[in-house]
């Protein structure tokens, strides 16, 4: 069976259309999607409609941007809860301060009284933090994103999702579909057994489903962690394991280390067919809607389960029109710039920069 593996569409319907047309011409019979249908891009309708109409429920997983979107839907209730908790705590602080500090001033120096006030304020902040976590958990957010993961979300992501949300309000059926699918079950890895191989679909990783960055270049710690998990599953099941993941927006094909050496990360050449003969494989198709491998073309991959091969593809699309839409709809200018200049992360090794420049044709 030929399966198109897509990831990180990011509300870029123009890129998605180009990829779907290319996949159709290549005889694809099924689609797997690895998360992040929305966010960053100007057109959330198309990707969500495609997911709803075309992709089987068991064939796609949640991305971190859907999870962030879900948190923003619960933020009003969360904010109201926190405001009430904060008012209560501040009232306690004022009462205790008015009662305790005059008594202490009679016996303590101004410095000691001030230090006692600071201690009281610190205790109050500790209690406020506990209340924040309780309110966060009460809204069900911790099951998908931790409060630390939410705090790390960049402003571009939040802004773009806010504009996506405003657009989706015009199509309540798609908004309802998106919100309904934001569940811990949808974020968890999905497994398929096809032609004697287990394929695991996940947005970023098996232990951290949504926010782990696994690049093909060193350091290899995260890759080794994933391989250790795959090795355990392989030993228990007796079948080879291929983990399909996204999130980084950079294509990757990684095999486990041999004889204690480093992992074997392939420098992928588009249109070349690769054999998946190893028992353990990490596979990232790249990003459809916001590539970050020094090429403006949309990226995806086609898996042939019978032949156990994969081919990585680049598809041209009208990125200039996508960029125009971002600017016209008041998305952050940096997002439009990224479509024009799809740069690798700043800490990417020079040899990988060189490789991606050479294959960007």
Which strands, in side-by-side order, build the sheet including 241-244?
190-194, 197-201, 241-244, 280-284, 252-255, 264-265
DSSP helix/strand/coil, 201 = strand
Question: CA dist 298 to 10, 282, 341, Å?
Answer: 11, 20, 13
Output the six-digit token pair for 318.
């009208």
Quickly state the pLDDT bin for 101 (edges 50, 70, 90). very low
What average pLDDT does the segment 122-131 reach? 62
What average pLDDT does the segment 1-6 reach? 98
User: Are 185 and 193 spatial neighbours (Cβ–Cβ below 8 Å)?
Assistant: no
Given this model, what pLDDT does residue 277 score?
Answer: 84
What average pLDDT does the segment 345-352 reach? 95
Q: What is the pTM of this model?
A: 0.85
User: Are 301 and 310 spatial neighbours (Cβ–Cβ below 8 Å)?
Assistant: yes
CATH superfamily of 2-60+160-359: Metallo-dependent phosphatases (3.60.21.10)
Distance CA 330, CA 344 (A): 25
Question: CA dist 104 to 195, 241, 272, Å?
Answer: 77, 67, 77
Q: For 276, list phi and psi in degrees, rounded to 5.
A: -105, 60
Could you tell me the residue ranges of all domains in the chain?
Answer: 2-60+160-359, 71-153
Given this model, what pLDDT does residue 104 score?
Answer: 47
pLDDT in tens, 182-236: 988 999 999 999 999 999 999 999 989 999 999 999 988 899 999 999 999 999 9
Residue 102 has pLDDT above 90, yes or no: no
User: Are 32 and 60 spatial neighbours (Cβ–Cβ below 8 Å)?
Assistant: yes
Residue 157 has pLDDT above 60, yes or no: yes
Distance CA 95, CA 263 (A): 61
Given this model, what pLDDT does residue 122 score?
Answer: 62
Residue 111 has pLDDT above 60, yes or no: no
Distance CA 233, CA 348 (A): 31
pLDDT in tens, 277-288: 888 999 999 999
Select the more confidently predicted residue: 75 or 259. Answer: 259
Nearest CA-CA partner of 307 in 27, 57, 21, 35: 27
Output the six-digit token pair for 226.
């994933």
């Amino acid at each position: 069976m030929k399966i198109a593996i897509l990831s990180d569409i990011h509300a870029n319907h123009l890129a998605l259309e180009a990829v779907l047309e290319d996949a159709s011409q290549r005889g694809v019979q099924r689609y797997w999607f690895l998360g992040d249908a929305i966010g960053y891009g100007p057109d959330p309708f198309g990707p969500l409609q495609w997911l709803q109409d075309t992709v089987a429920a068991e064939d796609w997983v949640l991305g971190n941007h859907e999870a962030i979107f879900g948190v923003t839907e619960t933020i009003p209730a969360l904010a109201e809860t926190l405001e009430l908790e904060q008012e209560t705590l501040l009232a306690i602080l004022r009462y205790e301060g008015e009662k305790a500090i005059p008594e202490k001033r009679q016996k303590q120096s101004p410095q000691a009284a001030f230090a006692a006030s600071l201690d009281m304020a610190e205790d109050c902040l500790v209690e406020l933090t506990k209340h924040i976590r309780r309110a966060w958990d009460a809204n069900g957010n911790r099951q998908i994103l931790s409060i630390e993961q939410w705090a790390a979300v960049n402003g571009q992501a939040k802004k773009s999702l806010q504009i996506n949300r405003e657009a989706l309000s015009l199509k309540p059926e798609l908004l309802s579909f998106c919100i309904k699918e934001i569940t811990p079950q949808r974020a968890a890895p999905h497994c398929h057994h096809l032609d004697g191989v287990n394929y695991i679909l996940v947005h970023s990783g098996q232990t951290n489903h949504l926010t782990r960055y696994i690049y093909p270049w060193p350091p290899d710690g995260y890759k080794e962690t994933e391989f250790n998990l795959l090795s355990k599953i392989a030993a228990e099941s007796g079948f080879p394991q291929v983990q399909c993941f996204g999130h980084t927006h950079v294509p990757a094909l990684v095999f486990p280390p041999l004889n204690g050496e480093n992992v074997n990360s392939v420098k992928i050449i588009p249109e070349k067919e690769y054999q998946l003969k190893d028992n353990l494989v990490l596979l990232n198709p790249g990003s459809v809607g916001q590539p970050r491998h020094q090429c403006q073309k949309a990226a995806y991959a086609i898996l042939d389960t019978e032949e156990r091969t994969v081919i990585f593809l680049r598809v041209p699309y009208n990125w200039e029109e996508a960029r125009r839409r971002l600017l016209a709809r008041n998305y952050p200018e940096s997002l439009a710039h990224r479509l024009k200049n799809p740069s690798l992360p700043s800490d990417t090794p020079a040899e990988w920069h060189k490789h991606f420049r050479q294959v960007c044709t």
